[in-house]
Structure 1
Amino acid sequence: MVHRAAVAEVLLTGWERRAEARFAVTAQWPRGHSFFTPVGGTHYDPLMVAETIRQVGSLLAHAEFDVPVGHQFLMHDLEIAVQPGQLVVEAVPASLDIEVTYPQVKQRRLQHAGARYEAVVRREGRVVARGSASYTCVSSQVYQRVRAGRLSLGRPAIRLTAPLSPQSVGRMSPTDVVLSPLGEADGWQLRVDTRHPILFDHPVDHIPGMMLLEAARQAATAVLNRSSLTRSSFLPTSLVSRFRRYAELDSPCTVQAHRLPADPGEHRVLVSGHQDGEPLFDVTVSACDLRG
């Protein structure tokens, strides 16, 4: 119900309805993860916060709003803001309580058609993060019509391109790098490896939104590392993302990034993606340097 094939990738552990549009969800973050590795070796990856928020929407859509399994979801936007001090990895996995509210629920022909939801994530009573997202969902039949002519499942993806240096984008393994050089200082090609066990947990006909968020994080890290005298550990403190359309597997996607004005001690980078000459996504990444 959270659109993950591997049980190990399910972060949610339970839920209950508290009111008509309010729910309590529980989750657990592992101390170590093969992809959402601790930032600087000390802090939970904020992208795991984003994945938790995404899973919340899928779970409640199926379990509480009666969306049939097999319906397709289109995420329009996803935002998170974290408290870095509450993300410290401790001696046991982090147990989380998530308060979820739905300021907007859409229906079509008496069926759930989408929603906007907001979440407050707490760890031992203290706020770890806040987030929100909106989505629409459609039946598989409608999805086939909407995606007619662009369904990529079974069609060859573009050739896998060479990765950037893992250290330049805050990664340890080249298999986790989702950007390839284009010969531009602040521009890259999205590196789409459909064999990746986390980003492509199961077969899909488009590039998952979580991969686009990871591309934004890596692009922001590359820009910030270039202007830093030493290699730093940049922890995203907020992500504000908008997804314009489906990201196709069989067409190159370019990613650009540039710095924005920011308060002292903070860094802000706007990352945008384009495909076939059309806007694909944009993410404003705010970050702090864990090394001061």
Structure 2
Amino acid sequence: MNATPELLRMPDSEESRGHKPAAELRFDATVPRDLVHRAAIAEVFVTDSARVGEDPTNDEHTFEVAAQLPRAHVVGERGGSYDFLLLVEVLRQSGVLVAHRYLDVPLDRAFIFSALNLTISGLEALRIGSRPAHAVLSTTVRPKRNAAGRVLGFDFTGTFWLDGEAAIVGSGSLTFVTNRAFQMLRAGNRKKLDGRSPRHPQLLRSAPSLVGRRDASNIVLTEPSVSESGTASAMLVVDTDHPHLFDHQLDHVPGNLQLEAARQLSVAAVAKLHGLPAESLVVTAARAEFSDFAELDLVTKAVAEVGDASFDGALGAVTVPVSITVSQEGHTVASLAIEVTQWS
């Protein structure tokens, strides 16, 4: 099966090579951690934000969000470049901040990412320099409101800049629900699954070298099984003590862990099939649709199908698309597409 993410390549223009924020943004302190739903201050990366545009005719709003990227982080193992998982977290925090600070979404709301689509638009922009990078997300959001005008969620598109260089373009959808509604959703999901499966067994992590990682604590898969036909599979290893993936207590397997599982499985499969070192492979695009909650105490399986390699002119590199399905008890909880490429 060939799986091709919906790529959103940025043109190689003067604007994309030297972006100047429309607002004066600060990078000297982070925002309060409750505004981005983090428990640890060290896990907050967003520093400032500003509304820079608004179109009342179609309820469209444009914001800029600033963040500082740490040169070293628990998930940043590649050394020379900023880790994909870290960039995803900055984008998530930006969306949460915008909702609370500008769209009057109460702090006690639960946030659900139903879809995410990201594409690396410039690999060189991801290289770590001699100081922490100043990141700016320029994003446009289109709120979804109820009859009373309360925001229930929003769709967004945006460009992520690192020290003025275009790094990522993306889009996605976010939904906000009350705690009571969230508990009803969770109860409904548990009712469908309880009694149908044994509790989650203890699983052994894959060797880091197989999935492009160095630190065993960041491994979220069992050892992948990769067939010559291009199919790969593994079980998710869910460590609720991980300081980044479980910064605070959750009652389900979070989306960023599922993204990391898809990344690790894709890297392992492409490395095995094409005879490449796993540590040389990076994510250049990711699309995710989260259709249901993944329960912490049930076995979670990921299955990948590797597509055909092709040359991407915008990146100047050969890329390989991989489609991944994450399931519990034969029920799909997430569908993802990952594009990987070799980069040194």
1:7 aligns with 2:53: no
Contact kept in structure 2, 1:95 and 1:123, CA below 8 Å: yes
User: What residue number does 2:176 align with?
Assistant: 137
| Residue in structure 1 matching 2:215, options 162, 170, 173 | 173
Superposition pairs for residues 89-168 of structure 1, below 5 Å? 89-102=128-141, 104-108=142-146, 109-148=148-187, 150=189, 158-168=200-210
| Residue in structure 1 matching 2:283, options 236, 256, 259 | 236
| Residue in structure 2 matching 1:197, options 229, 235, 243 | 243
Structure-2-length-normalised TM-score: 0.79
How far apart, CA to CA, are the structure 1 residues paired with 2:293 and 2:276?
A: 37
How far apart, CA to CA, are the structure 1 residues paired with 2:114 and 2:149?
A: 22
How far apart, CA to CA, are the structure 2 residues paired with 1:63 and 1:143?
A: 22
Contact kept in structure 1, 2:270 and 2:276, CA below 8 Å: no
Structure 1 gap segments, 5+ residues each: none
Superposition pairs for residues 195-234 of structure 1, below 5 Å? 195-232=241-278, 233-234=280-281
User: What residue number does 1:261 align with?
Assistant: 308
Structure 2 gap segments, 5+ residues each: 1-34, 55-60, 312-317
| CA apart distance, 1:118 | 1.3
| Residue in structure 2 matching 1:29, options 59, 62, 69 | 69
How far apart, CA to CA, are the structure 2 residues paired with 1:280 and 1:148?
A: 16
Amino acid at match of 2:205: P
Q: String of CA shifts for 1:256-277, please: whole Å, max 9, x gaps.
A: 1111123131111111111122
How far apart, CA to CA, are the structure 1 residues paired with 2:288 and 2:320?
A: 16
| Residue in structure 2 matching 1:283, options 336, 340, 343 | 336
Identity of aligned pairs, percent? 31
Is the strand fraction higher in 1 or 2?
1
| CA apart distance, 1:2 | 1.2
Kindly name which structure, 1 or 2, has the bigger radius of gyration based on alpha carbons.
Answer: 2
Worse-matched range after superposition: 217-226 or 123-132: 123-132
Contact kept in structure 1, 2:211 and 2:264, CA below 8 Å: yes
Worse-matched range after superposition: 246-255 or 173-182: 173-182
How far apart, CA to CA, are the structure 2 residues paired with 1:170 and 1:139?
A: 39
User: What residue number does 2:16 align with?
Assistant: none
Relative to structure 1, the CA distance from residue 177 to residue 271 in structure 2 (aligned partners, 3 Å threshold; closer, same or farther) is same
| CA apart distance, 1:213 | 0.4
How far apart, CA to CA, are the structure 1 residues paired with 2:243 and 2:343?
A: 28
| Residue in structure 1 matching 2:292, options 239, 245, 252 | 245
Relative to structure 1, the CA distance from residue 198 to residue 124 in structure 2 (aligned partners, 3 Å threshold; closer, same or farther) is closer
Instruction: Give the RMSD, CA atoms, in angstroms.
Output: 2.0
Contact kept in structure 2, 1:160 and 1:193, CA below 8 Å: no
How far apart, CA to CA, are the structure 2 residues paired with 1:117 and 1:51?
A: 16
How far apart, CA to CA, are the structure 1 residues paired with 2:293 and 2:86?
A: 22
How far apart, CA to CA, are the structure 2 residues paired with 1:214 and 1:111?
A: 33
| CA apart distance, 1:147 | 1.9
How far apart, CA to CA, are the structure 1 residues paired with 2:171 and 2:276?
A: 34
Contact kept in structure 2, 1:49 and 1:80, CA below 8 Å: no
Between the two proteins, the alignment pairs up a number of residues equal to 286
Amino acid at match of 1:236: V
User: What residue number does 1:188 align with?
Assistant: 234
| CA apart distance, 1:173 | 2.0
Amino acid at match of 1:163: R
Contact kept in structure 2, 1:151 and 1:205, CA below 8 Å: no
Relative to structure 1, the CA distance from residue 144 to residue 230 in structure 2 (aligned partners, 3 Å threshold; closer, same or farther) is closer
How far apart, CA to CA, are the structure 1 residues paired with 2:307 and 2:164?
A: 34
Contact kept in structure 2, 1:101 and 1:117, CA below 8 Å: yes
